[in-house]
Amino acid sequence: MTAEDQNKALVRRFYQEIDKGNIDAMDELVARDYQNHDPPFPDLQPGLEGLKQAFRMFWESTPGTHTIEDQIAEGDKVVTRLRAQGRFEREMAGISPTGKEMDVTAIAIHRIENGRIVEHWSNIDSAALMAQLGLISLPGPPPS
């Protein structure tokens, strides 16, 4: 197995453990000084603890799964195109739950060092996420 294959397997396991709600697995998969360049909430702790906070919030309020649709690895980076699906069941960051299904796409880049995730960048379909959380309304299709 190449280093790139090992890195892709690490990122796949990262999402599998999140889907199980096994936040403690992050201690094995992610470096303590992990850097998230796109944190989902502004007041999270830095590093691994902030990542665990974020995933705990999402897991408790919107339990669901991640589906990896594509993965590309080169050197120490893994690019993953994924879909996150769940149901908005509990309050999250002061937002009241809607009970609605959520389906959001994202592209994530993870940098791996010494068998652990050390950095993360992401591009999430934020408009779809905010609409599904009930925070904004998106316009409908144009009239025919």
Residue 62 lies in a domain: yes
| In contact, 102 and 89? CB cutoff 8 Å | no
- pLDDT tens digits, 3-16: 999 999 999 999 99
Residue 144 lies in a domain: no
- pLDDT tens digits, 55-84: 888 888 888 999 999 999 999 999 999 999
Which residues span the domain enclosing 85? 3-132
Residue 139 lies in a domain: no
Residue 88 lies in a domain: yes
What CATH number does residue 18 fall under?
Answer: 3.10.450.50
Length of the chain: 144
Q: Give how many domains the chain has, as a whole number.
A: 1
Alpha helices by DSSP H, listed for the chain, are 3-19, 26-29, 47-61, 126-132
**pLDDT at 120 (0 to 100):** 97
- Region 92-113: mean pLDDT is 91
Residue 75 lies in a domain: yes
**pLDDT at 143 (0 to 100):** 66
Residue 142 lies in a domain: no
Residue 19 lies in a domain: yes
